[in-house]
Structure 1
Amino acid sequence: MVISVAVSLIIVDSTIVNVAIPAIVEDLDLSSTEVQWVQEAYTLVFAALLLLFGSLADRWGRRRMLLIGVVVFSVSSVLAALAPSAELLILARLVQGVGGAMMLPTTLSLINATFRGRERGIAFAVWGSTIGGMAAVGPLLGGWLTTVYSWRWAFGINIPLGIAIVIGVVLTVAESKEARRRGLDLVGAALSVVLFGSLVFALIEGRTLGWWTSAEPFEIGGFTWPGSLSPVPIAFAVAMIAAAMFIGWELRRSRAGRGTLIEPSLFRIASFTNGNVAALVVSLGEFGIILSLPLWLQFVLGFDALQTGLILLALAGGSFLASGVAGGLSGRVPAVIVVRAGIVAEIVGIVWVGIVIAPDAAWGWLIPALAVYGFGVGLATAQLTGVILDDVPVELSGQGSGTQSTARQVGAALGIAVLGTILFTSTAGILGAKLDDRGVAADQRDQVVSAVVDSAGGAIADLEQNPQTADAAEDAKEAFSDGTKLAAFAAAGFLGLGLIATLPLGRPARDRPRPAHAAPPASR
């Protein structure tokens, strides 16, 4: 239970930010790119460091790494709560990503090392339902804190939670680590950071900076990117080169019997390899829509943060219900069947959400749609994790957990970047066309489109209050709704691909190869 609460700290913080974003936009005057970076700065560092900290946890102690992560996460939450500018808030989110990367794979490896048999399936069910449930409880808590107090308290709530987790871990969680200590793979760690950092950067900034040629200047500190070629294709190239070098380096160290950031022999396990592919694609569809839905609820339908959180609470209800169902099915129904059923429920729920979305939507229809979606998340998330780690040796739990967590985080980053691009690009195109149909002058049209897109929808209320731009506000609501609808349908499409990716899973255990260089049993 304490381990699940530690996971909830990560998830609650991420989802609280989603609901608090509109208030942060108004208070700190964030652009649409800064909105994405408040989300992605955390994800970028998180994804880049998961492999490293998963491997270090195996060597140094999983409980120890979890405790350090909670402290780092809590301290950085204080910095985020006190941030006077977008730049400092993004910096605090980067540090939070470090703490989160220490925590998530460690919680998984502790479960994998502690539980066996049916209890293991139940433990993963609780872990997964916590992720799904807290993904909805977070917006409610964040909405209440943002509405009644300030968005800054949405970060400050992490402090008492962090203290409670530290006390619980010290009192109830036993230490476990890898019995055999091998050298730390510093080169592999550096290559993984370059790989995932450059990949997520390119995905975030492609829409703004240009996918090939520079659409606008890229400045960081006192440096301005030279030439007409966008830094985005350069970042993609760096990611590809780093990926090739990382794979080659890990294979070389493994053959030499030296410590690796991730044990290559793990990928000889079919359930591990195929499961990670499925996890990446499913995460792309699962979490990308979380960026756009709170913005639409507040800036188009006019709900405040608390009301938005109450609507999204339906996700938690569905996910917690899934926890009981998944626990009851553990050991009776193959986990991969539960995963597929969950993904199907997610697809039904998110398509339902997309159908409901409109400028004058009846919000009541969102409740059952989100409940179905949350039920699917609760089923699929935990059971897919169990499938991925099912044949991973206990002594490699940290590396296996770090790998599957990285796959999920890269998928989430892809989802936020891709679906965020779909949302804002389609909104801009649709709104521009509507204003053209009204005969609005080109310069005024561009000004309105830029205001709506750069504010991530926040400018719609200002347009509505001005009688001269009231018609443009209605067009903006329709365009933003259409953009959100397209993002929802795209998420459903990615989930469909994730369902297809699960088809190779579920082979009998005797057909699954084992790692060739498994270490001795872990000491606990």
Structure 2
Amino acid sequence: MSSSAPTETNTTNRYVKYRWWGLLAISLGVALIIMDSTIVSVAIPSIVDDLGISSTEIQWVQEIYTLLFAALLLTWGRLADRAGRRRIMLIGVVIFVAASVLCAVADSGAVLITGRALQGLGGSMILPTTLALLNANFHGRERGIAFAVWGSTIGGMAAIGPLAGGWLTENASWRWAFGINVPVGILIVAGLLLFVAESSEAVSGAVQRLDIGGALLSIVGFGSLVFGLIEGRNYGWWAAEDEAPFDIGGISPVPFAFLLAVVALTAFVFLERARSNAGKGVILDLSLFRISSFANGNITALIVSFGEFGLILSLPLWFQNVLGYTAFEAGLALVPLAAGSFLASGAVAGLARKLTPVVVVRIGLGLEIVAIASLALLIRPDSTAWLTSPVLFVYGMGVGLATAQLTSVVLADVPVERSGQGSATQSTARQTGSALGIAVLGTAFFTTLKVGTENRLADAVAENPMVQSLVDSVNASSGGSIASLAADPQTAFVADAARAAMTDGTSLAGWIAAAALVIGLISSLRIRSQADSHEPTKARAEYPESDEE
């Protein structure tokens, strides 16, 4: 026993000494899942050409990942508290990398969809554990810096992903969009084992019983909710569209998915409350919502995610279909967003000495609102990157400040032993918000494209009904046919109308996103965190570096 004590002490000291290297490994874990989701969207055209998969398979290649990812976050967050956060993250990384290999060698749509589903499973294990590990291993002012790096990684990778995907697809193969995850995954595993201390919740007997019912209800509830939000535009929000796999009396599957979500999540809340009152283990401890910063912070995070993802949805399409950029050039045009986001992470250290995290969040949201509103106001079909670059840089700085520090605020007063639950809840709120944002902003964007193009060409269609087929091609391809229409002088007028309509759609999506962020900023005024009253010196006294775990 005595001989092992020095070894354990040395190991603990190593984790403390090299905790910033551990932060790098944790941030790479976030980068892995964020970058992969954006890379795939760019690689889809090449995948279609190579594998010849159907439109339905294309849809599920993109959406099965998001569906499983969002549905499983709460369950894995809770299991990580029990089994060990680093352990669950390691397992998640291994599953994600193995799934990436399966995607890279896929020879059919079915194999690719299976790989994407497994990626969603692995990703749902990675994201909440990254937050929980930061919450457990960083304290005081350092904690704000760590979360700043984490948040800037999300913002930066959301922009760099399309760039990497475009370059790999054009210069190598779409398969490398998945294959690149292998070396990154190896670095993450090595970094976690060498530089990140394990942390878990110490509980006894009865409390250790797994809340299987709560896990199943949360999976069904959040899975159904995200499914409805994702598929509403394709299957129909009420009346069934042609793409719907089935209908009941002409009603789309989407309303039934929402109904199932309401029933399952209501039952989930009642079950968790009953188990908690009985002293049994739960997937989500509802008493966490008695913490003001946690409850109000999650509401703000959901609203902010709604607004933030609107820009990432519409801009790449606008760059490619309106300005005529290649996939790589469109990714390059988003680099200022990443640059602003990473720069903001460096500014947090200085801001943390003078301002509370909540104030930093509000500054970030203010920058985002100004940037998105400016873009919505100024963009034209003949705009260039000289207009978008400075706006995206400011937007990136806002994301870097707001996203990271909002996460820090949400978890600031959550006990470390429940950080897995808290992190998973925060991640679920963000995923739900982003899914809602994609649903609403995507509907506004594509509806404006459709209606705007039809209205501009109404007279041409009246004179020549054959023009309607060209209009339909624009809508069916989500603007992808604009380039070919522009190349033919006889159909260039259709391309011009579609470009103007898509620009209007991008502008409308921007205004809606800006409005959502304004609501998020107002919501942030309700956040009151006990951590805000902690002076940096006090925080360092409570968590001296030699005692950090």
1:41: Cα distance to partner?
2.5
Give the deviation of 1:32 after TM superposition: 8.1
| Shift in Å, 1:63 | 0.8
Q: Is residue 107 from structure 1 mapped to residue 133 from structure 2 by the alignment?
A: no
TM-score (norm 1): 0.92
Question: Which residue of the other structure, out of 107, 115, 138, is the alignment partner of 2:161?
Answer: 138
Structure 1 stretch 127-136 or stretch 366-375: which is displaced more? 127-136
Residue 174 of structure 1: CA displacement? 1.6
Which of 496, 515, 523 lines up with 1:474 in the alignment? 496
Aligned to 1:212: 238
Q: Matched residues in 2 for 1:218 and 1:317: separation?
A: 41
Alignment partners' CA distance in 1, 2:163 and 2:238: 40
Q: Which residue of 2 aligns with 1:170?
A: 193
CA change 1:329–1:217 in 2 (3 A) is closer
Q: Given the alignment of the two structures, is residue 487 of structure 1 paired with residue 509 of structure 2, yes or no?
A: yes
Shift of 1:51: 0.3
Q: 1:442 to 1:152 in 2, by over 3 A?
A: farther
Q: Is the 8 A contact 1:66 1:103 kept in 2?
A: yes
Residues 1:321 and 2:372 aligned together: no
**Does 1 or 2 have the higher relative contact order (CA < 8 Å, sep 6+)?**
1
Return the alpha-carbon distance in structure 2 between the equivalents of residues 493 and 371 of structure 1. Answer: 20
Instruction: Look up the match of 2:3.
Output: none
| Change in CA separation of 1:81 and 1:359 when aligned onto 2, cut-off 3 Å | farther
TM-score (norm. length: structure 2): 0.88
**Alpha-carbon separation, structure 2, partners of 1:509 and 1:20:** 43
- Residue 340 of structure 1 deviates from its aligned partner by 0.5
Distance 2:316 2:358 in 1: 31
Distance 1:450 1:95 in 2: 36
Report if aligned partners of 1:63, 1:169 keep a CA contact under 8 Å in 2. yes
Q: Distance in 2 between matches of 1:16 and 1:350?
A: 23
Matches of residues 238-277 of structure 1 in structure 2 within 5 Å?
238-277=260-299
Shift of 1:31: 8.3
1:201 aligns with 2:223: no
- Give the distance between the partners of 1:497 and 1:29, measured in 2 at CA: 44
Post-superposition Cα deviations, 1:63-92, rounded to whole Å, max 9, x if no partner, equal: 110111111111222233334555554443
The Cα offsets for residues 406-441 of structure 1, whole Å up to 9 and x where unpaired, read as: 101111111112211111111111111112132356
Secondary structure of the residue aligned to 1:259 is coil
Write the distance in 2 (CA, Å) between the matches of 1:278 and 1:33: 34
Residues 98-497 of structure 1 aligned to structure 2 (within 5 Å): 98-181=121-204, 182-216=208-242, 218-219=244-245, 224-440=246-462, 444-497=466-519
Query: What stretches of structure 1 of length at least 5 have no aligned partner?
Result: 512-522
Cα distance in 1, alignment partners of residues 471 and 54 from structure 2: 13
Aligned counterparts of 1:54 and 1:347: Cα–Cα separation in 2:
31
Structure 1's 165 and 510: CA in aligned 2 closer, same or farther, altered over 3 A? Answer: closer
Q: For residues 187 and 517 of structure 2, what CA distance do their matches in structure 1 show?
A: 36
- For 2:468 and 2:249, locate their aligned partners in 1 and report how far apart those are by CA, in whole Å: 25
Instruction: List per-residue Cα deviations over 1:332-353 (Å, max 9, x = no partner).
Output: 3111000011011111111222
* Aligned equivalents of 1:441, 1:26: Cα separation in 2: 36
In the alignment, residue 433 of structure 2 is paired with which amino acid? G
Structure 2 runs not aligned, ≥5 long: 1-23, 534-547
Shift of 1:315: 0.8
* Distance (Å, rounded) in 2 between the aligned partners of 1:77 and 1:119: 34
Give the Å deviation of 1:138: 2.0
Equivalences for residues 72-91 of structure 1 within 5 A: 72-84=95-107, 88-91=111-114
- For 1:33 and 1:352, how far apart are their aligned partners in 2? 37
Distance 1:305 1:287, change over 3 A: same
Q: Give me the whole-angstrom Cα distance separating, in 1, the residues matched to 2:482 and 2:110.
A: 25
C-alpha change, 1:17 and 1:291, in structure 2 (3 Å) is farther
1:154 is matched by which residue type in structure 2?
Answer: A
C-alpha separation in 2, matches of 1:295 and 1:88: 27
Q: Secondary structure at the match of 2:209?
A: coil
Aligned residue type for 1:210: G
Q: CA deviation at 1:454?
A: 2.4
Looking at structure 1, the residues matched to 53 and 451 of structure 2 have their Cα atoms a distance apart, in angstroms, of: 21
**8 Å CA contact 1:136, 1:315 repeated in 2:** yes
CA deviation string 1:13-32 (max 9, x = no partner): 12223443454566567888
Partner Cα distance (1:39, 1:422) in 2: 20
Superimposed CA distance per residue, residues 262-305 of structure 1 (whole angstroms, 9 cap, x where no aligned partner) = 11110110100000000001011111321221111112211112
Q: Which residue of the partner structure matches residue 97 of structure 1?
A: 120
Counterpart position of 1:516: none
- In structure 2, C-alpha distance between the alignment counterparts of 1:138 and 1:92, rounded to whole Å: 19
Report the CA distance between 1:500 and its aligned residue.
Answer: 1.3
1:398: Cα distance to partner?
0.3
Distance 2:70 2:167 in 1: 29
**Structure 1: which amino acid aligns with 2:166?**
G
* Equivalent residues of 1:18, 1:294 under 8 A apart: no
Does residue 17 in structure 1 map to residue 40 in structure 2?
yes
Check conservation: 2:234, 2:244, Cα contact below 8 A: no
Does the 8 A contact of 2:461 with 2:468 survive in 1? no
Contact 1:209 1:218 in 2 (8 A): yes
Root mean square deviation, CA, Å: 2.3
Match of 2:7 in 1: none
Alpha-carbon spacing, 1:31–1:440, altered in 2? closer, same or farther (3 Å): farther
Are the structure 2 counterparts of residues 397 and 193 from structure 1 closer, same or farther at C-alpha, using a change threshold of 3 Å?
A: same
Q: Which moved more, 1:105-114 or 1:344-353?
A: 344-353
User: Offset of 1:448 from its aligned partner?
Assistant: 2.7
Q: Structure 1 176/168 Cα, relative in aligned 2: closer, same or farther at 3 Å?
A: same
What residue number does 1:514 align with?
none
* CA shift for structure 1 position 232: 1.3
